[in-house]
């Protein structure tokens, strides 16, 4: 029986990935920072990338659904024998590289260094590594963008956007990301490659937000504001702590196209993401904090 070690197993991508592995006959050792219950064929280790005890000495595959930079450091120091490694990063490695925000540039730098580190360690050990870069993740109530928008809109009864927030987006469901990671396990073409994983539909930022609001009950109102008025409202929200993490660079990206080609992933491991068809339950806050 094939054996997989999965980091972030209780996270938004890790949960459906564990299900796929179990249903397809894999024995799984999964890692979570929180206590979890073992199941037939599934053993949980409590720990994280900074401190993990009791890990197996040999597995057939390692899959990381957690922070890429932390995984790269763990992998470089680990002595586990494994010939196949699949790790999630983010398309932010490209979209935030030239950001006006220093913190966002740092995110892109850490992602790039994480990718380079995983590939370098894999080459040194004769292992095959694949890096997966999702776009805007949704579907489990644990993402920091669409779920956050839904929660704020429900609280306020409305959601403001600057006018012309029509930059193109490709939101991707967590189940499609889990399926991509699983498909990579059987794809020799994916060895040594990095892939963007966009969703199956491209739509404008405003339309994306409108679809989210439309499935909530009652549906909040989408309000489009002139830029000066929106900026003033944003500043007020930041000063009161209601818009932490939403800076000028993030607002500017609402008008920028962030579009990626799914053809390489489609060609090499049959990637077939769904169109963006949200439901209210996809944005219900998950009671499990962290992974």
Name the DSSP class of 81: B
CA distance 31 to 46: 6
- Residue 260's SS3 state is coil
Strand partners, 138: 173
CB neighbourhood size of 95 (10 A): 18
**For residue 229, what pLDDT is reported?**
82
Is the bond preceding residue 171 a cis peptide, omega within 30 degrees? no
Of the candidates 154, 162, 157, the one whose C-alpha atom is nearest the C-alpha of residue 250 is 162
Phi and psi at 25, nearest 5°, equal 85, 15
Tell me the pLDDT of the chain (291 aa) as tens digits.
899 999 999 999 999 999 999 999 999 999 998 889 999 999 999 988 887 888 899 999 999 999 999 999 999 999 999 999 999 999 999 999 988 889 999 999 999 999 999 999 999 999 999 999 999 999 999 999 999 999 999 999 999 999 999 999 999 999 999 999 999 999 999 999 999 999 999 999 999 999 999 999 999 999 999 887 887 777 776 666 655 555 567 788 899 999 999 999 999 999 999 999 999 999 997 755 445
> Are the C-beta atoms of residues 195 and 284 closer than 8 Å to each other?
no
CA distance 94 to 111: 9
**For residue 245, what pLDDT is reported?**
54
Of the candidates 93, 274, 256, the one whose C-alpha atom is nearest the C-alpha of residue 201 is 274
SS (H, E, C) 209-240: HHHHHHCCCCCCEEEEECHHHHHHHHHHHHHC
CA quadruple 112, 115, 120, 123: dihedral sign: negative
């Amino acid at each position: 029986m094939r054996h997989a070690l999965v980091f972030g197993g209780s996270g938004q991508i890790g949960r459906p990935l564990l299900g796929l592995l179990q249903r397809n006959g894999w024995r799984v050792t999964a890692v979570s920072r929180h206590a979890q219950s073992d199941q037939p064929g599934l053993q949980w280790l409590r720990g994280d990338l900074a401190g993990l005890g009791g890990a197996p000495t040999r597995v057939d595959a390692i899959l990381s659904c957690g922070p890429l930079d932390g995984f790269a450091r763990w992998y470089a120091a680990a002595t586990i024998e494994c010939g196949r490694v699949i790790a999630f990063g983010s398309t932010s490695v490209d979209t935030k590289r030239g950001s006006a925000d220093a913190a966002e540039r740092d995110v892109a730098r850490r992602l790039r260094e994480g990718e380079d580190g995983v590939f370098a360690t894999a080459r040194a050990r004769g292992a095959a590594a694949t890096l997966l870069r999702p776009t805007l993740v949704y579907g489990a109530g644990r993402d920091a963008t669409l779920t956050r928008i839904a929660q704020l809109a429900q609280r306020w009864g409305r959601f403001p956007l600057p006018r012309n927030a029509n930059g193109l987006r490709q939101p991707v469901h967590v189940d499609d990301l889990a399926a991509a990671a699983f498909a990579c396990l059987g794809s020799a073409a994916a060895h040594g490659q990095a892939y963007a994983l966009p969703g199956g539909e491209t739509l404008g930022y405003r339309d994306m937000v409108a679809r989210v609001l439309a499935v909530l009950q009652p549906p909040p109102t989408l309000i489009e504001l002139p830029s000066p008025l929106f900026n003033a409202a944003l500043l007020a929200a930041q000063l009161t702590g209601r818009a932490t993490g939403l800076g000028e660079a993030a607002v500017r990206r609402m008008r920028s196209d962030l579009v990626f080609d799914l053809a390489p992933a489609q060609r090499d491991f049959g990637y077939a993401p769904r169109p963006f068809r949200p439901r209210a339950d996809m944005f219900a806050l998950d009671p499990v904090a962290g992974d």
